[in-house]
């Protein structure tokens, strides 16, 4: 009888997430440093179209490197485009409005 219980537990631990949910988990729980971001929408018009590599992330800001200079972008003001497994993804910065460690704690 205990063997059947163990089989049920093992089968439940192998639940597959939907593709959309898996992408959310991957982007939320993994570091985005080194990824190239493009600002698609922003409340500040001068930030639209900025492309740069993410070099640092705080709870409130993305720090992008562009042509040797760094630019601080407020997360809650922007929608970003980034490449994920060969596809362009668009994310509201508010979705990432915390540090990586805080996002991991919230998820668990």
Count of CB atoms within 10 A of residue 73's CB?
A: 21
Domain ranges for the chain? 2-107
Structure tokens at 4: 């059947």
Angle formed by the axes of helices 100-107 and 19-29, to 10°? 130
Q: What is the pLDDT along the chain (108 residues), one digit of tens a residue?
A: 445 444 444 433 445 556 767 777 777 777 889 999 999 999 999 999 999 999 999 989 999 999 999 999 999 999 999 888 888 888 888 888 888 888 777 766
pTM of the model: 0.71
Return the CATH fold of 2-107: SH3 type barrels. (2.30.30)
- Please answer whether residues 91 and 79 qualify as being in contact, where contact means their C-beta atoms are separated by less than 8 angstroms: yes
Residue 93, pLDDT score:
87
**What's the confidence (pLDDT) of residue 40?**
95
């Amino acid at each position: 009888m205990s063997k059947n219980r163990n089989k049920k537990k093992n089968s439940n631990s192998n639940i597959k997430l939907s593709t959309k949910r898996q992408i959310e988990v991957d982007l939320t729980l993994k570091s985005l440093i080194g990824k190239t971001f493009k600002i698609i929408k922003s409340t500040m018009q001068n930030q639209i179209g900025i492309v740069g590599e993410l070099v640092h992330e705080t709870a409130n800001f993305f720090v992008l490197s562009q042509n040797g200079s760094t630019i601080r972008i407020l997360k809650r003001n922007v929608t970003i485009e980034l490449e994920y497994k060969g596809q362009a993804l668009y994310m509201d910065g508010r979705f990432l409005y915390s540090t990586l460690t805080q996002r991991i704690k919230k998820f668990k």
